[in-house]
Structure 1
Amino acid sequence: MIDALVIVVLVATGALAVLGIGTTVRNRPPGRVHTLAVGAVEALLVIQAVIAAARVFGGVPLPESTTFLIYLVVSVCVLPIALQFATAEPTRWGGTVIAVAAIATGVAVLRLQGLWAAGGV
């Protein structure tokens, strides 16, 4: 994995979490800004997933490659599902749903980095 991309993804998920909490505090449902923000973070996650999967399938040895690939898929899937859930019935808590998903995605990315580092790559 590319360390700089991991840092960018972590900052982006943190900013998305702050945006979601801010929306909840302001008592507003999620809107177009949230959709665009989730899309931007998702684009970063897809780039990271493509690069990491290509390297794993290209022969980079990892002690737990199956676990790594599962975390990779989860990191890409969580935010779109949360956005759908948050906007299906717009309430003030939609922002919190997005924030929790952003935090969970950040944790998954940290775990991915840990698994990658354990491989000595």
Structure 2
Amino acid sequence: MIGALEVVAYVAAAAVALYGVLTTVRNRPPDRTHRIAVGAFEGILLIQAVIAAVRVFGGVSLPEQSTFLIYLLVSVCVMPIGLQFATAEPTRWGGTVIAVAAIGTGVAVWRLHGLWAAGGV
């Protein structure tokens, strides 16, 4: 894993979560800006996932490799699913759905870091 990319992912997760909560407080449904924010965050996650997958399949040995790969997959899938749920029926709570997805994704990235560090890489 790349330390700087992890930090960017944490900051992006916090920003998307905060933006989701802010729109809920303002009583507004998710709109185009939410899609853009989630898309940017997802781009960061995809870059991280590709780099990590290449390194894992390229020979890096981790003690819990299957768990790492599952968390890697989850970290990429949660935000699009959360955005779909949030925009399926646009209400003020869509921002909260996006915020919860961003927090969950941030936790998955944190867990990925722990699994990577356990491998001593």
TM range (shorter): over 0.9
Q: CA deviation at 1:29?
A: 0.1
Q: Distance in 2 between matches of 1:54 and 1:64?
A: 16
Q: Secondary structure at the match of 1:15?
A: helix
Q: Distance in 1 between matches of 2:61 and 2:82?
A: 32
Q: CA deviation at 1:119?
A: 0.2
Q: Distance in 2 between matches of 1:109 and 1:70?
A: 12
Q: Deviations over 1:17-49 (max 9, x none)?
A: 000000000000000000000000000000000
Q: Distance in 1 between matches of 2:73 and 2:110?
A: 14
Aligned to 2:114: 114
Q: Distance in 2 between matches of 1:110 and 1:82?
A: 19
Instruction: Flag as ranges the 4+ runs of structure 1 deviating above 3 A.
Output: none
RMSD over aligned Cα atoms: 0.3
Which residue type is aligned with residue 35 of structure 1?
Answer: R
Q: CA deviation at 1:76?
A: 0.2
Q: Distance in 1 between matches of 2:80 and 2:64?
A: 26
Aligned to 1:13: 13
Q: Distance in 2 between matches of 1:88 and 1:110?
A: 29
Q: Distance in 1 between matches of 2:6 and 2:27?
A: 32
TM-score (structure 1 length as normaliser)? 1.00
Unaligned runs of 5+ in 2: none
Q: Distance in 2 between matches of 1:120 and 1:92?
A: 44
Unaligned runs of 5+ in 1: none
Structure 1 residues 34-49: aligned runs within 5 Å: 34-49=34-49
Q: Distance in 1 between matches of 2:19 and 2:55?
A: 33
Aligned to 1:75: 75
Identity %: 75
